Amino acid sequence: MNDVLINKTTSYFQNAFGSSPEKVVLSPGRINIIGEHIDYNDGYVLPAAIDKIICFAFKKNNSNSSRIIAIDFDDEFEIDLTEIPQLEEKVWTNYLRGVINQLKINGFEFKGFDCVFSSNIPIGSGLSSSAALECGFLFGINELFNLNIKPIDIALMGQKSEHWVGINCGIMDQFSSVMGVENKVIKIDCKTLEYEYHEADFSDYSLILFDSNVTHSLFTSAYNKRREECETGLTIIKNHFAEVNSYRDCTVSQVLSLKNEMSEDVFKRSHFVVNEISRVTQACEALDNGNIKLLGQLMLETHEGLSSEYEVSCAELDFLVNTLKTEKAVVGSRLMGGGFGGCTINLIQKGHEEEIKDKLSQLYFEEFGIELKIYDVKIGNGTSLYTKN
């Protein structure tokens, strides 16, 4: 599947610029097993890079500007690299302007280059196509001009580019896009950025994504608001419990004891966060022990919390999870990523995948008149240079 994309991108480059690219970069999207809305709350998350990617082709052009072509959008832009980038109306270009901005404010020196890219990561499905875009673009410029930026700094600068565009996101997406390893999930400590790889062995279960095929427009504002509510909650907790520095130090009973000090929303968000941090640790142990039923149970609890306490679900996602949670062959199901649309992540007993897919697609269509999209994802490597073998 990715070979087709790579050929398409490199031949497009050849046609547009009349020569072969110097560097070809592959940058993946991500899934997250558990630990949602936890990265910016200093907890642990359990994501992985996937085999859906953006392919970039690059070549230096000996000038001071860059021409960047997005094959999928049938669109392009040119940017003068001697100037500080500004936000523009076309959203897709801003992620790339954001990367150039980061490079400039961090004092990196580079010249003009041409770039073509194309993707098979669905957009707006919660698979972090924007992180793949930022990190792959940055990785390519780093390779082209030997800037010696470390992988972790590529992730951090990618995250800052996303902030520049307007979403105050955590580090999970960019970290997994850059640091992913085939068949491994990454347990990331989002406070210290320490990480461990764990075997992604789901035993008798298949990992399947169901894409609600809806994107709700309130994503950015609601996302940023959740982050603020959590900060407010933490300030209240810290005022009462001096030993608490972040949500990870806090117990459920401490949050419960402060219910009257918090607004209802702030209480619900804080309660979810403390529980979710502990679920990630339990889930990672369950995965290591091959206890996939327990892992699935924890995923269902996460969905319940995201829906009723963190309030980032929507009717479509709740329907997808609620329909599957009574199916014997489904052990885990929950919304994945920021929410308000996008995908659910599911653990389905092997041998029952097709029957569940058919049933859910039909019921979903009957309920909402929307086609369900389905992805059988594999866990793949992080952002890397493509070399023909």
Please state the closest distance from residue 311 (CB atom) to ligand GLA, in A: 13
Residue 233 or 337 with smaller CB distance to ligand GLA: 337
Question: Residue 333 CB: number of other CB atoms within 10 A?
Answer: 27
Please state the closest distance from residue 346 (CB atom) to ligand GLA, in A: 17
Please state the closest distance from residue 337 (CB atom) to ligand GLA, in A: 5
Please state the closest distance from residue 181 (CB atom) to ligand GLA, in A: 20
Residue 60 or 225 with smaller CB distance to ligand GLA: 225
Binds ligand GLA (CB under 6 A): choice among 43, 338, 380, 382? 338
Residue 173 appears among annotated catalytic residues: yes
Residue 45 or 69 with smaller CB distance to ligand GLA: 45
Q: Which long-range contacts (CB under 8 A, 24 or more apart) does 61-65 make?
A: 61/17, 61/112, 61/113, 61/114, 62/111, 62/112, 63/111, 63/112, 64/111, 64/112, 65/112
Which of 222, 317, 314, 236 minimizes the C-alpha distance to 271?
A: 236
> Which residue is catalytic, options 114, 173, 211, 318?
173
Residue 59 in the binding site for ligand GLA (CB under 6 A): no
Pairing of strands 23-32, 384-385: antiparallel
Binds ligand GLA (CB under 6 A): choice among 112, 140, 233, 337? 337
Count of residues interacting with ligand GLA (CB under 6 A): 11
Please state the closest distance from residue 37 (CB atom) to ligand GLA, in A: 5
Question: Is residue 78 a contact partner of residue 65, using CB atoms and an 8 Å limit?
Answer: yes
* Beta partners for residue 348, in sequence order: 206, 330
Stretch that binds ligand GLA, among 3-11, 12-20, 164-172, 303-311 (CB under 6 A): 164-172
Residue 169 in the binding site for ligand GLA (CB under 6 A): yes
Residue 48 in the binding site for ligand GLA (CB under 6 A): no
Residue 233 in the binding site for ligand GLA (CB under 6 A): no
Residue 280 in the binding site for ligand GLA (CB under 6 A): no
Please state the closest distance from residue 331 (CB atom) to ligand GLA, in A: 21
Stretch that binds ligand GLA, among 111-119, 168-176, 236-244, 301-309 (CB under 6 A): 168-176
Q: What is the CA radius of gyration of the chain?
A: 21
- Reading the block at residue 87, the tokens are 């936000």
Residue 172 or 237 with smaller CB distance to ligand GLA: 172
Residues 291-320 vs ligand GLA: string with x where CB under 6 A?
------------------------------
Please state the closest distance from residue 129 (CB atom) to ligand GLA, in A: 10
Dist. CA 55–CA 49, nearest whole Å = 15
Residue 158 in the binding site for ligand GLA (CB under 6 A): no
Residues 182-221 vs ligand GLA: string with x where CB under 6 A?
----------------------------------------
CA dist 347 to 75, 144, 187, 222, 385, Å? 38, 40, 19, 28, 32
Question: Is residue 158 a contact partner of residue 135, using CB atoms and an 8 Å limit?
Answer: yes
Residue 37 or 248 with smaller CB distance to ligand GLA: 37
Stretch that binds ligand GLA, among 169-177, 266-274, 289-297, 367-375 (CB under 6 A): 169-177
Residues marked as catalytic: 173
Q: Which chain residues interact with ligand GLA by CB under 6 A?
A: 36-37, 39-40, 128, 169-170, 172-173, 337-338
